[in-house]
Structure formats: structure tokens, C-alpha cells
Amino acid sequence: PVAERGDDLFAKYGYRLKGLERRKRLPGDEDLQLHKVQLIVFGMGRMGSRAYEAVAIDFGGRVLGVDVDEGIVADHAAKGDRVVVGDATDPDFWTRARGLVDGLQWVLLTMSSNEANIAAVQRLRDRGYTGRIAATSVYPDDARQLQEMGVDFAFDVFAEAGAGFAGDLRDKIREEGLRKEPEEEPKKEKD
């Protein structure tokens, strides 16, 4: 059905529909003016927000965050972060963000589903992106699949969280020490 192939059909025939568009775009459909972006974070939930904060320290205005949730975007905007509403899996986003891939060096995919990360990788490649890609995954098989698609760095969230938890716990135990086992009292022999 058409619904299942909508993105492919749009990519193939969208240029013909361009002439039917209104001159003034609807709110939310305006072209995105994204200049000097060198690193982009797709998915600004907990993981993406932390990644954004970490890289923005060094790269500031060259970093852009993108999320589908307008509330999340508004929260980031209130803090002064450079974040826009968009969907990396939607061909229309890439149409509205013409030239975005030209200066990009890194793309961080921190979306909650592996399917979304895979679709974003495909969209990036369709747009001719040849830079580096990092992506989060929940399962080792997902990380392998992303790497097979050319993702440079696939981060297995649960494996790394488990290792981080264990490392932090080990440090805490070393700091506080373990309580000594109570010494057993010598057993009295029966007469």
C-alpha cells in the first residue's frame, strides 16, 4: 500500500509536488536556517540532553539538538540551548533543512528506538552525508546492526550503564570498606 511506501514515493516524486505548495509555509513547516552546524544530536531525551550538554561545552554554537517533542524543545530553548523541532526519520525534515549535512562532522543518534536510528542513518546516507555517526542502542544485536550500516560508534546503553554502576559501586565499597565478618566464637567442647 501507499502508506507503507510513502517516504520512498515522496523521495522519488516530491519535486513534482513542490509547485503545488503555498508560497508561505504553514507554522512548523518553514525552512530551517541552520548555519555552521558541525555536530547534531537527534533525540533530546535524557541521553541526548546529556550528550548535548557535554559536547556544547567545547563546541557551543556549532551544536544543534533536534527532537520531535515541542515541549522538550521549548524547555531547551528556555535554557538557551540551540534545539529545533524535527524528526530525523522524516524526509520532509531533510527537505526543510537544506544543506544541513554539508558542514556536519558528527551526528549523534540517541532516539529511543533502534528502528528510528536505522531510518535516520538511511536518511543521512540518502542526503550524501559522509561524516561520522554515533548511535545508542539497547541491545548488543542492535549495536552490531548499526555498525554494519556504517555507524562509527554504537553505544550499548545497558551494558555501559551496568559497567558504570559496578565501577561506581566498587569505588564506594573501597572508600567505605566492607564490615568485617563477626568472628566466630570458639565452640565449647562437650564433656
Give the chain's mean pLDDT: 84
How many C-beta atoms lie closer than 10 Å to residue 41's C-beta? 28
Please spell the DSSP secondary structure of the chain, one letter per residue.
-GGGGHHHHHHHHHHHHGGGS-SSPPTT-SPP---S--EEEE--SHHHHHHHHHHHHHHGGGEEEEES-HHHHHHHHHTT--EEE--TT-HHHHHHTTTGGGS--EEEE--S-HHHHHHHHHHHHHTT--SEEEEEESSHHHHHHHHHTT-SEEEEHHHHHHHHHHHHHHHHHHHH-PPPPPPPPPPPPP-
Does the pLDDT at position 39 exceed 70? Answer: yes
Q: Kindly state the percentage of the chain with pLDDT values over 90.
A: 49
Q: Please write the tens of the pLDDT for every residue from 111-156.
A: 989 999 999 999 999 889 999 999 999 999 999 999 999 999 999 8
Higher-confidence position of 160 and 120: 120
Cα(57)–Cα(154) distance, rounded to whole angstroms?
22
Pull the grid cell for residue 171: 569505588
Residue spans of the domains in the chain: they are 30-176
Predicted model pTM? 0.75
Cα(102)–Cα(85) distance, rounded to whole angstroms?
20
Confidence tier at 1 by pLDDT (50, 70, 90): very low
Q: Which fold has domain 30-176?
A: Rossmann fold (3.40.50)
At 12, which amino acid appears? K
Higher-confidence position of 38 and 168: 38
Q: Kindly state the percentage of the chain with pLDDT values over 70.
A: 76
